Amino acid sequence: MRSRLLTIAHKEFLHIRRDRRSLIIIFLLPLIMMVLYGYAITFDIKRINIAVIDRDKSPASRELVASFTAGRLFRVAARPQEVGEVERLMRRGKVHAALVIPRGYQKQLRTKPTTAVELLIDGSNANTATIVMNYARMLLANVSLRTVPEVAVPFVVRPLVLYNPEQRSMVFVVPGLVAVLIMMICALLTSIAVTRERETGTIEQILVSPIHPLELVLGKVLPYVVVALLDAASVVVFSVLVFRIPFRGSAVLLLGLSVVFVYASLSLGVLISSRAATQRAALMGAVMATLLPSIMLSGFIFPIRSMPKALQVLTYVVPARYYLRIIRGIMLKGIGGAYLWQDVLWLFAFGTLLLMVSIGRFRTRLEG
């Protein structure tokens, strides 16, 4: 049994090695993805272009504009003459907001308790719009505070950011990338590899030999386990050495728990290949069933807690969800098994269940 399994695995290794182009992509893709994801995924909004219409042109109005630009978030990109111009600028995406200071602003500020300024916001990206609104409100509140310097500031807010004090998106994204990569290689590659044998007819050749479907499946997936773990390890090492992402926990523990995740992902891949008749279908199925959920529903980029309840429930069947907690916990927080055993258990149960289902299906499909 063992030697037959190794024979299949060896054959699969040869396939992988012969296919030079795929091989390059398998090892180059992770690095490129890491650089791209690591640098391109930035949530913090650094600069927002605004337009200013100053109809007062007084020292007070200039001071207000100065206080808007002092914080570095806002940059005055245009000084149009009229509001109609603002709309055109927004439609072209040149500015996200406009501050309109009315004529008589300075005079009102001295004589009246409240003075109004207009804030026009492009609402299309609600996130940016909210940030603009909150930030502008805060700036204006400070202007008010400065009119009563006699009152001492009652308290200050001192933030402390744990695990990722510099707030680098990369720290968050790169460990998640390991999960996506493992999922991609294990589920996508295996499902394609199995379907390919079916499509080119070689599977019949193998089936007439005295091999058990389980051996065939295991033999086929074994090389991908090795590839996936190598890929994952290279991403982790690279991210620690080059991107200076902290590694606070135990590497051995991470490796051990990664194997459990690999097991779950492979089971998913095998399940897909037991259903798909063509490589095209397997590919589409794998993308829909593994990759997108791993990216979208695992907490990789979008926090699970912010999703609607129904989707939060759905995330429980996304294996990457558990693995993300594991890898981030170990790398960034340095926590150990005591905190993670539940996630490991889920992953294991998930993998076993899928494998059972797919082996049953696989056999009937081959015979049918």
Partner 1 sequence: MRRVLYVIRKEFLQVFRDRAMVFLIFMAPVVQLVVLGYVVSSEVRHLATVVDDRDRSAQSREIVARLESSQYFDVLPIAGERTGAREYLDRGVASVALIIPPNFSEDAMAGHTPALQVILDGQDANTSNVALGYASGLLNDLLSEQVQHRAALLGLRPRVVEPRVQVWFNPELKYRNYMVPGIVAFLLTLTTSLLSGMGLVREREVGTLEQLNVTPIRPHELLLGKTIPFAVLGIAEVTLAIAVARLWYQIPIVGNLGLLALFVVVFLFTTLGIGLFVSSSSTTQQQAMFLTWFVLIFALITSGFLFPIENMPWWIQALSYFNPLRYFMVVVREIFIKGSGLAELWQQGAILAVFGLMILILSARRFQKRIR
> Which H helix or E strand runs over 52?
strand 48-54
Tell me if 171 sits within 8 A of 245, measured CB to CB.
yes
Report the C-alpha gap between 326 and 125 in whole angstroms. 33
Q: Which is nearer to partner 1, 42 or 209 (by Cβ)?
A: 42
Q: Which is nearer to partner 1, 213 or 329 (by Cβ)?
A: 329
Tell me if 265 sits within 8 A of 186, measured CB to CB.
yes
In whole angstroms, the minimum distance from the beta carbon of 3 to partner 1 comes to 27
Q: Which is nearer to partner 1, 285 or 319 (by Cβ)?
A: 285
Q: Which is nearer to partner 1, 8 or 212 (by Cβ)?
A: 8
In whole angstroms, the minimum distance from the beta carbon of 87 to partner 1 comes to 7
Report the C-alpha gap between 67 and 74 in whole angstroms. 10
Report the C-alpha gap between 58 and 108 in whole angstroms. 12
Q: Which is nearer to partner 1, 59 or 113 (by Cβ)?
A: 113
Tell me if 90 sits within 8 A of 96, measured CB to CB.
yes
- Burial class of residue 358, CB neighbours in 10 A (0-12, 13-18, 19+): buried
Q: CA dihedral defined by 181, 186, 188, 192, rounded to 10 degrees?
A: 150
In whole angstroms, the minimum distance from the beta carbon of 130 to partner 1 comes to 6
Q: Which is nearer to partner 1, 2 or 158 (by Cβ)?
A: 158
Report the C-alpha gap between 239 and 23 in whole angstroms. 21
Q: Which is nearer to partner 1, 278 or 352 (by Cβ)?
A: 278
> Which H helix or E strand runs over 100?
strand 97-101
In whole angstroms, the minimum distance from the beta carbon of 362 to partner 1 comes to 16
In whole angstroms, the minimum distance from the beta carbon of 1 to partner 1 comes to 28
Supply the Cα-derived Rg of the chain in whole angstroms: 28
Q: Which amino acid is at 144?
A: S
Report residue 328 CA to chain centroid gap.
13
Q: Which is nearer to partner 1, 2 or 309 (by Cβ)?
A: 309
In whole angstroms, the minimum distance from the beta carbon of 282 to partner 1 comes to 9
In whole angstroms, the minimum distance from the beta carbon of 46 to partner 1 comes to 5
Report the C-alpha gap between 320 and 232 in whole angstroms. 14
In whole angstroms, the minimum distance from the beta carbon of 173 to partner 1 comes to 9
